Amino acid sequence: MQKIDDIFEFRQNDRIVIGCSSGPDSMALVDMLLKIRDKYNLFLVIAHVNHNVRKESYEEAEFLKDYCFINKLLFESMVIEEYGDDNFHNEARNIRYNFFENLVHKYDANYLMTAHHGDDLIETVMMRIVRGSNLNGYAGFRNIVDMDGYKIVRPLINYTKKELEEYDQENEVKYYIDSSNDKDKYTRNRYRKYLLPFLKQEEMDVHLKFLKFSNFLNDASKFIEKVRDKTIKRVMEDEKILIDRFLEEDQFIQKEILYYLLSEFYQDDLILVGDKHIEIILDLINSRKSNSFINLPNDVIAKKNYNYFLLTRQTKIISSYEIEFDNYVLLPNNHYIEKISDISDNSNNICRLDSNDITLPLIVRSRRMGDKIKVKGLNGTKKVKDIFIDKKMSLANRDIWPIVLDSKGEVVWIPGIKKSKFDKKKTEKYDIILKYN
């Protein structure tokens, strides 16, 4: 087995958040990083999510907590108290990655590492092929993904699950087995139990063949995305497709645009939609009906209105709110914002302001069409809506999420999500500290 630093180029003083379930894959990753911690002076944070669906999950969390104490590792954990989405795996994934990203910002990490391996890639690619997707979907997942200020890295992608289990045995690494992995009711489990053994029997290193295939498709997808993005500028206005312009394009690009729009509702893995949904949408766009719509999974609606086409979500109407902030405000999402005197935390849950830079009083309200924020560290502005989409936030949450503005309407903070250029470092001058709880 190759050493992990022969596969990925570590640098001195790297700061890494590690998504760890306590299973054989993630425990192998943690052990590998521990073995090179001193060599590169790595700063390691173990991030654990208790999905709260198995009675053993609390025992596993305690094991990890003790493991981190013994090995002098920072340990962060959360429990998913309830699920509201129709698809458990999709929602759990979104919650995990939001939790991981908050920790990345809290500890100023430059990497988030997960224990996805070669077998995971095979399963993902095969599932996408059977369901139907575009090139980006067929590629499975990328081993390095550029995010806002950090990278998601999957350094075990060259290993198989068997190799990682053998590593655990040879290095006496303790781990837990998730009993739900044996249940055939989950699609991925069926691929793992019945398809993978056949592929490995045909070719022992089939995972490396799939990795080569994935990298090829990713390269092709990057090229196509450039063409798609240029086309979107021609065929879309105000988040609506202009049908007459859209139909002038090659059907391949039409499908790429629709997959891109669907990804805003179904996240980057498009787990609930496939080729058949794209064909249904194209039939709607090409129909002679002036006004029509179709229902897609998870309350998404595809609408045609004369020369316009758009995707929207059917949701309950939520009243907007606007509150003048003094020292404390209770929010509709059951969180609250308070003014505090001091704190060492520098995550997105904390905002430091200089009253000379803004116009008081501050206002806390729900989002509005056209809201923009001057993001800290970036030139120009970014739409609040786009930030919510990047965070893979549900539409219901977007509608009640708090936005903090000054009295001139300048967005100074999106609590828990994004800081503006008005946020001050701890070493700079400020006289207001806000905390989102």
How would DSSP label each residue in 413-424? EETTTEEBTT--
CB 328 within 8 Å of CB 339: yes
Q: What is the pTM of this model?
A: 0.63
Phi-psi region of 186 (alpha: psi -120 to 50; beta: other; left: phi over 0): beta
Which pLDDT value is given to residue 299? 73
Quote the tokens at residue 230: 């240029």
CA within 13 Å, CB half, 227:
12
Quote the tokens at residue 85: 């989405």
Closest CA to 66 of 174, 177, 170: 174
Ramachandran angles phi, psi of 128, nearest 5° = -70, -40
Which pLDDT value is given to residue 206? 95
* Burial label, 369 (beta-carbon count in 10 A; 0-12, 13-18, 19+): exposed
Which pLDDT value is given to residue 316? 46
For CA atoms 96, 99, 27, 67, give the dihedral sign.
negative
Distance of alpha carbon 327 from alpha carbon 56, whole angstroms: 42
* Burial label, 7 (beta-carbon count in 10 A; 0-12, 13-18, 19+): middle
Positions of the chain with pLDDT under 50: 85-86, 268-269, 316-318
Query: Over the stretch 88-105, which tens digit does the pLDDT of each residue have?
Result: 566 677 778 888 988 998
Which pLDDT value is given to residue 226? 94
In 315-417, where do the E strands start and end?
322-324, 328-330, 336-340, 350-353, 363-365, 372-373, 382-383, 403-405, 411-414
Query: Are β-strands 43-50 and 15-19 bridged in parallel, bridged antiparallel, or unpaired?
Result: parallel
Q: Mark out the alpha helices in 3-51 (DSSP H runs).
A: 4-7, 24-40
Helix 161-170 and helix 24-40, axial crossing angle in degrees, nearest 10: 60
Which pLDDT value is given to residue 11? 96
Closest CA to 30 of 45, 50, 13, 15: 45
CB 403 within 8 Å of CB 333: no
Which pLDDT value is given to residue 85? 47
Q: Mark out the alpha helices in 74-114 (DSSP H runs).
A: 88-106
